[in-house]
A and B are shown apart, each in its own frame.
Chain A
Amino acid sequence: MTYTRATVEFNSQKSRQYIYDDETGFIFPWNVHRENALKSLSGIISESRHKSPRQQYAQKYVKHWIDHYGAFYRKTANPDDIGEPSVDELRDYFYSKASTLVLNITESCNFRCKYCVYSDQYPLSKKGRTRHMPPSLAIRAVDFFANILNSQKQRNPIKRFGISFFGGEPLLNHRAIELVLEHAHNRYPGLFFFSLSTNGSLLEPDILKTLVKYDVKLAISIDGPQEEHDRSRVDIKGQGTYLKIVSNLKYIKTAYPDYWRNNLFSIPIFDYYTDIQRTADFFYDNDSVVPRPLFVSPVSQRNTKYYSNIKEETLEKFNVRINRITADYRKSLINGYKVSPYLRILIGGKILKIMLRSKLNDKRPAFLPYTFACVPGERMAIQTDGTIDMCERVNGRYPIGNIITGIDFYQIRSIINQYANSLFRRCIVCPITKLCSKCFQSAETISGFSVSNIECQEEIAAVKSALSDYVSVLIEKPEAALSVHNDFQQHLEVFRNINC
């Protein structure tokens, strides 16, 4: 058994030194005395005989955190000792943690967005099919899921679970959606909450009536002002789609103002060509029509040809803009200025992620101890043919069962083993395992799961930057965290259920 230092150093904007300790999840103000104390306690440097009061105090400080919380150093076992899960272990985990059913209700879409992960730009996840899920299969999937939830319902009778409709454009198969909603509502009253990811073009009055009746949360893809949106989000004929979506939003606002306020969210996507400031202003100025964003996601950079022609200067320009906007956002938080809801998610989301990070007692399952990966099956994505995938965003090469034959726990074990063997050797010595955002989807390549050393370094740099932002804001204004916190609470149910 060896010990590895599990800390990452960072500075606040005013150059105050801190370390983040991945063993406890705590952030510590740091200085040279504490660093030396830690090194001397761990035997890296010899202990000086005569210590100044400051050095003595630093030693006491560091020792306190080591003795009481096991901070700073991680017991590094051999990666082979992590151990693969037994099928029984996986089965128990599955029946106690399954939380969301994603129905991939259709593969068809009436848009041809240029960055779509199912388009030619993404050879790995490209889908050439246009199948609809038959309503009978969708209903069967709901029954299958409800059956899985029995043990959780016994233990926690008020717990609710998510059913999410995904596509393609799910509303192209709205008949199946209506039947599923009716079935789930009548047969399992109060058990589910529903959500639907849509491009917003098919929100016709008849369809809306059903969605309002069953209180379905809507995540609508709208990228920003017309030029930004229409640059990528085009229909089959290549025409912009902004006007149609905004017209539908206006109708919803007028016909169902409460529904608009409580159930509608936008999920904007941005790329390196996006004018972030202009987009942020758009969401700020149009918040009476365009719903507040739930996620602001970048166009995926993995396994794609999308950015193959991007110029260096475009990248540089984008980074300069983002840095400026981040600095402005920090100032706004400190001074209590109102900020665009777009920036609250794009920049504030990173700060929130630090605030809500795992701490000492938040243990991941022993067989999947690192990264942000869900255990396959916690979230079940049902494909149009009844195949069960671990997530709607993986490419379909890792099915974990079928709703006819059930969950294949041997397959889940095999997927976890592949993932662990590819990633965990590096994770064991990583100082940000509690903040890492890698998962099955983001580690997927043409030849299995893999994350390069450069990607890991980029992840660490991004985490350091977010830690710095977090601390810089809270030094100046500790109560700023609360406003982000409250904002998050409002979005919580949907956050759990919708994945853009």
Chain B
Amino acid sequence: MKYFRLKADTFLINGANESVLYDVSFQRAFVVCKKAADYLKELEKNRIIEPTIQKTNWKNRLISQICEMGLGYFENAPAYIEKTTINSPLRELMPGNYPPSYFRAYWNISNDCEWNCNFCGGKSDILTWRTCITCIRSAPGTSIQMDSGKVIEQISKLGVSLIVIRGGNPFLKWQYLNSIIEEAQRYPHLTIQITTPGIGHISRRVIDITKKFKILFNVIMPIQSRRYNSSQIPINIMNDQQINLIDELRKNKIMFYLTFLLSDITLSLRETLIKFSARRWKLNPGFSYAIESDNVDAYLNFREQYPYPLSYWKSREEFYFRMGNKLCLSGTFEISSDGMINPCPGFNVPCGKILNSNISSALTDPQLYTYWKSDSVYSCRCTDCSTRYLCLTCWSTENKMFPVLNGRRECPFRVQLFKDALKMAHKASYVFSPLEIEQGKL
């Protein structure tokens, strides 16, 4: 007679229809059907079972499969197996330790842009995905100019390590941008990234500025159809000024990312753009999306959705961090062009207003931190989802559609994925890796 127990660093997380076993040390996750999960939970209460090599019934097959995978083992006597955490729970409970830490600050310094893309400016009929890596403005509005030295000093004191300066096109406020960068150089732990559509004659300025300071660039190429553009500037598939800028960046060995912003009309160009970038610049571009809200079918076809939302943790620390915090949002805030504090560039949910360039007082609104913490941000849908610690999806689309994040937009394709997995659970075996399912290996 034996007692079967899951390893102390293997967590069984239940969802509405299925559960997932997270093996923290070996960075693995396995889908378990509800029936099997209920049985495992029962065994956690020190129920006696008879270990056998004969796989006569589903329970024995399940247990032997889990043992083979190294997720559990037999004990001779009833035992208390404490689930491992790497921090004392006290750390989470202490009021002084809340909020956690500030990692990133997005700062929209200009609401101006040479272009007038139809999807830009917080329009309610446009859904955007991964807004944070684009130049899309979350809301139309006037820009206010804050004291750059004071703002940078305060951001630095918050412990932020990365400031992403974005617009519109921040280069349209060249003097201001220059003063910000000069101020930021006084704080060696700060990294500055400038997100720009790269239009206008800015190549010379970019090169001049990087001669003096170490800066990262993120060049956004909105790939649009004419239908989407109402500005007077003619737009081809790719803009010559942008291509010249990237050529210059490559030539001068300046560090940059390239992000293509696709719409539902230009989705099909994705592969072509990858090939073009690889051939011309030898780089892998990133993608983000802006689509019309009534064309949701196109949204479900985003390639980046597939590898991105289900993602393994890189370290134990990250896994335990995911358990308490929303990885995408935690430690992040955006200063919008009109001085409001948003949880991120894709969330137009003001959580405070900066007055007299005083960031500290604007960050006292607890709403911001509720977005950072998983228990508050996770919707009822998420708490019912067993893959919540694998999910890194961007919620900005969801936020645009529904005031309360409830996964109605984000989750359907994954729900389908798991429905397929569950069907297979009864046919093949009881434990699956969700990524294997996703990649079509099962």
The chain A residues found within 8 Å of chain B, CB to CB, are 12, 14, 16, 18, 24-29, 31, 57, 60-61, 64, 68-69, 99, 151, 153-161, 355-362, 471, 474-475, 478, 485, 488-489, 492-493, 496
Q: Which of chain A's residues has its CB closest to B76's CB?
A: A31
A7 to chain B: closest CB distance in Å?
15
Set A28, A57, A158, A496: member contacting B366, Cβ < 8 A: A158
In the complex, what's the smallest C-beta–C-beta distance from A156 to chain B, in angstroms?
7
Encode contact with A along B364-389: 1 for CB under 8 Å, 0 otherwise. Answer: 10100100000000000000000000
Interface pair B90/A356, CB less than 8 Å apart: yes
Minimum CB–CB distance from B190 to chain A (whole Å) comes to: 15
B79, A26: Cβ atoms closer than 8 Å = no
User: Would you call B401 an interface residue if the criterion is a C-beta within 8 Å of the partner chain's C-beta atoms?
Assistant: no
- 7 closest A-B pairs by CB: A154-B157, A29-B79, A360-B86, A361-B86, A356-B90, A475-B80, A68-B25
- Does B234 make an interface contact (CB < 8 A)? no
Chain B residues near A493 (CB, 8 Å)?
95
B contacts, CB < 8 Å to A: 8-9, 25, 44-46, 70, 73, 75-82, 84-91, 93-96, 98-99, 102, 154, 157-159, 316-317, 360-361, 363-364, 366, 369
Known: A27-B82, A356-B89, A496-B96. A158 touches B364 (CB 8 A): yes
CB contacts (< 8 Å) of A69 on chain B: these are: 25, 84
Among candidates B88, B102, B364, residue contacting A358 with C-beta atoms closer than 8 Å: B88
Distance to closest chain B CB from A429 (angstroms) = 23
A154 B95 Cβ-Cβ under 8 A = no
- Chain B nearest CB from A494 CB (Å) reads 11
**Is B95 a contact partner of A492 (Cβ separation < 8 A)?**
yes
Which residue on B lies nearest to A362, using beta carbons? Answer: B88
Query: Chain B at the A interface: mostly helix, strand, loop or mixed?
Result: loop
* Residue in chain A with minimal CB distance to B81: A29
Count A/B pairs, Cβ under 8 Å: 96
Cα distance A29–B366 in the bound complex, in angstroms: 42
Beyond A360-B86, A361-B86, A471-B80, is A157–B95 a contact (Cβ under 8 Å)? Answer: no
A478 to B79 CA separation, bound complex (whole angstroms): 11
Q: Collect the chain B residues with CB atoms within 8 Å of residue A156's CB.
A: 96, 99
Inside 8 A of A28's CB, which chain B residues have their CB?
A: 8
Q: With the chains together, A14 CA to B90 CA distance in Å?
A: 29
Q: Which chain B residue shows the least CB distance to A355?
A: B89
Interface CB pairs A-B, < 8 A, 7: A25-B88, A26-B82, A68-B9, A157-B363, A161-B96, A474-B82, A485-B89
Interface centre among A28, A29, A159, A492 (most CB of B within 10 A): A29
Report how far A356 CA is from B407 CA in the complex, Å: 34
- Excluding A57-B73, A154-B360, A356-B88, 9 further A-B contacts by CB distance (< 8 Å) are A18-B80, A26-B8, A154-B158, A156-B99, A158-B366, A360-B87, A471-B80, A474-B82, A492-B94
Neighbour of B80 across the interface among A12, A361, A485, CB < 8 A: A12
In whole angstroms, what is the CA distance A194 to B5 when docked? 47
Inter-chain CA distance A496–B90, complex, in Å, is: 11
A492→B93 CA distance, assembly (Å): 8
Closest Cβ–Cβ distance, residue A434 to chain B (whole Å) = 9
A158 touches B87 (CB 8 A): no
Measured CA separation A476–B237 after assembly (Å) = 67
Residues of B close to A362: CB separation below 8 A: 87-88, 91
Q: Is B89 a contact partner of A157 (Cβ separation < 8 A)?
A: no
- A158-B98, A474-B80, A475-B46 known; A359 vs B86 contact (CB < 8 Å): yes
| B94 and A496 within 8 A (CB) | yes
Contacts of A12 in B (CB 8 A): 80
In the complex, residue of chain A having the shortest beta-carbon distance to the beta carbon of B82: A27
Residues in chain B near residue A356, CB distance under 8 A: 88-90
| A68-B25, A99-B96, A361-B86 given; A475·B91 CB < 8 A | no
Q: How far is the CA of A60 from the CA of B9 in the complex (A)?
A: 15
State A12–B75 Cα separation when bound (angstroms): 15
Question: Given that A57-B73, A99-B96, A151-B157 are known contacts, is A359 also in contact with B80, CB under 8 Å in the complex?
Answer: no
Question: Please, which residue of chain A has its CB at the minimum distance from the CB of B159?
Answer: A155
Residue of B nearest to A64 (CB): B25
Smallest CB separation, B323 vs chain A (Å): 13
Q: Which residue of A lies closest to B96 (CB)?
A: A159
Q: What is the CA–CA distance of A31 and B75 in the complex, to the nearest angstrom?
A: 10
By beta carbon, the residue of chain A nearest B44 is A478
* Alpha-carbon separation in the docked complex, A69 to B86 (Å): 10
- What is the bound-complex CA distance between A431 and B194, given in angstroms? 51
> Which of A68, A358, A359 has most chain B Cβ within 10 Å?
A359
CB contacts (< 8 Å) of B94 on chain A: these are: 492, 496
Q: A28 to B90: give the CA distance in the assembly, Å.
A: 21
Question: B46 CB to closest chain A CB, in angstroms?
Answer: 7
With A and B bound together, what is the CA distance between A25 and B8 in angstroms?
Answer: 13
* Contact call B87/A359, Cβ cutoff below 8 A: yes
A12 to B82, CA, bound (A): 14
Q: With A and B bound together, what is the CA distance between A16 and B369 in angstroms?
A: 43
Taking a contact as CB atoms under 8 Å apart, the answer to whether A489 and B77 are in contact is no
Query: Using Cβ atoms and an 8 Å threshold, which residues of chain B touch A475?
Result: 46, 78-80
A17 and chain B: residue at smallest CB distance? B77
Q: How far is the CA of A362 from the CA of B91 in the complex (A)?
A: 8
Chain B CB within 10 A, most for which of A154, A471, A475, A488: A154
